[in-house]
């Protein structure tokens, strides 16, 4: 869906501006589960689509010995994470390049596994993202994604409003399955219930347990984020983020929005 950008800065914008390391519901537990389902092991070539701050790519390389390429549309993220890889002597195992997930800069059948953590719904054309993930994975290779998923019937007007405030476009479970199938991905397995608990939306930090949505960021991180939002969007931007956060979390507490992990295979 093409969002109009009428509620900027969105929740996604604020999280990205904040600079924290894990940018998806389910946090690191979900990253580990994704690796497990994709059976990551030494020698495999993995593509991490919309790799963000590279936390997951680095984890995959260090834990499973896989070779990871990350691709992201944000120059700031790509530069940051390439620098981090250099500092940690990881450049033979991970590399990050600039690119659009709707038109991936790789030939067909380039990777053994292709993963997208929380970023299929962000670009205008989610179907194009999945088509591209299917195109660049080898035959028999695993494709995995996790994304926000409507779990109660709500009006399209409300869906559009939440998508605008969130900065991504959730779909219903059966709509995600259809999109994956349309992309040519089969043998789809999914995990919805365990990743849809409200705490999954805030317990996202790698090194500490978060017990409330108000505590995702530490005070210094919040201060830095507020300062950056002010600089980019002015004072109105701060009010907008608080408004978005309040309305967004209401849909989580109401049980309208959940989160789902999908894994399939290219046959």
Ligand X SMILES: C[S@@+](CC[C@H](N)C(=O)[O-])C[C@H]1O[C@@H](n2cnc3c(N)ncnc32)[C@H](O)[C@@H]1O
User: What are the backbone angles phi and psi of residue 242, rounded to the nearest 5°?
Assistant: -65, -40
Among 3, 24, 95, 266, binds ligand X (CB under 6 A): 24
The whole-angstrom distance between residue 51's C-alpha and the CA centroid of its chain comes to 8
**C-alpha–C-alpha distance, residues 159 and 140, integer Å:** 35
| Cβ 43 to ligand X shortest distance, Å | 23
The sign of the CA dihedral 100, 52, 260, 13 is negative
Q: Is residue 50 close enough to count as binding ligand X by CB under 6 A?
A: yes
Closest to ligand X by CB, 80 or 173 = 80
| Cβ 201 to ligand X shortest distance, Å | 12
Among 67, 100, 221, 256, binds ligand X (CB under 6 A): 100
CA 71-131-188 angle, 5° bins:
100
223: tokens are: 């201060």
- Residue number, nearest CB to ligand X: 52
| Cβ 81 to ligand X shortest distance, Å | 10
| Cβ 235 to ligand X shortest distance, Å | 25
What does DSSP assign to residue 234? -
Closest to ligand X by CB, 174 or 261 = 261
Among 10, 22, 169, 244, binds ligand X (CB under 6 A): 22
Concatenated DSSP letters of 201-233: GT---SSS---SGGGSS-HHHHHHHHHHHHHHH
113: tokens are: 């596994």
Closest to ligand X by CB, 82 or 267 = 82
Distances (CA, A) of 65 to 93, 187, 258: 8, 26, 32
Q: Is residue 127 close enough to count as binding ligand X by CB under 6 A?
A: no
Select from 99, 7, 47, 11 the least CA-distant residue to 266: 47
Q: Is residue 125 close enough to count as binding ligand X by CB under 6 A?
A: no
| Cβ 12 to ligand X shortest distance, Å | 6
Q: Which residue has the tokens 């390389």?
A: 61
Closest to ligand X by CB, 18 or 184 = 18
Contact flags string 59-98 toward ligand X, x per CB under 6 A: -------------xxx--x---------------------
The neighbouring-strand residues paired with 263 are: 144, 189
Q: Which residues sit at the interface with ligand X, rule CB under 6 A? A: 12, 16, 22-24, 50-52, 55-56, 72-74, 77, 100-102, 117-119, 122-123
């Amino acid at each position: 869906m093409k969002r109009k950008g009428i509620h900027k800065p969105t929740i996604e914008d604020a999280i990205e501006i904040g600079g924290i390391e894990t940018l998806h519901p389910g946090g690191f537990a979900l990253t580990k589960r994704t690796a497990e389902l994709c059976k990551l092991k030494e020698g495999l070539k993995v593509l991490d689509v919309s790799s963000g701050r590279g936390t997951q790519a680095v984890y995959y390389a260090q834990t499973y010995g896989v070779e990871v390429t990350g691709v992201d549309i944000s120059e700031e993220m790509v530069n940051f994470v390439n620098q981090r890889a250099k500092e940690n002597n990881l450049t033979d195992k991970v590399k990050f390049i600039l690119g659009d997930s709707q038109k991936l800069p790789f030939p067909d059948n380039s990777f053994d596994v292709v993963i997208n953590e929380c970023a299929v719904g962000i670009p205008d054309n989610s179907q194009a993202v999945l088509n591209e993930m299917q195109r660049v994975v080898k035959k028999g290779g695993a494709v995995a994604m996790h994304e926000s998923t409507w779990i109660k019937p709500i009006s399209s007007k409300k869906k559009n409003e939440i998508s605008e405030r969130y900065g991504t476009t959730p779909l219903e479970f059966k709509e995600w399955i259809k999109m994956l199938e349309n992309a040519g991905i089969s043998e789809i397995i999914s995990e919805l219930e365990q990743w849809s608990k409200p705490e999954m939306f805030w317990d996202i930090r790698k090194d500490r347990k978060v017990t409330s949505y108000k505590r995702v960021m530490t005070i210094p991180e919040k201060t830095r984020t507020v300062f950056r939002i002010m600089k980019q969007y002015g004072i109105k931007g701060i009010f907008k983020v608080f408004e978005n956060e309040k309305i967004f979390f209401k849909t989580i507490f109401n049980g309208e929005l959940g989160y789902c992990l999908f894994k399939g295979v290219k046959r």
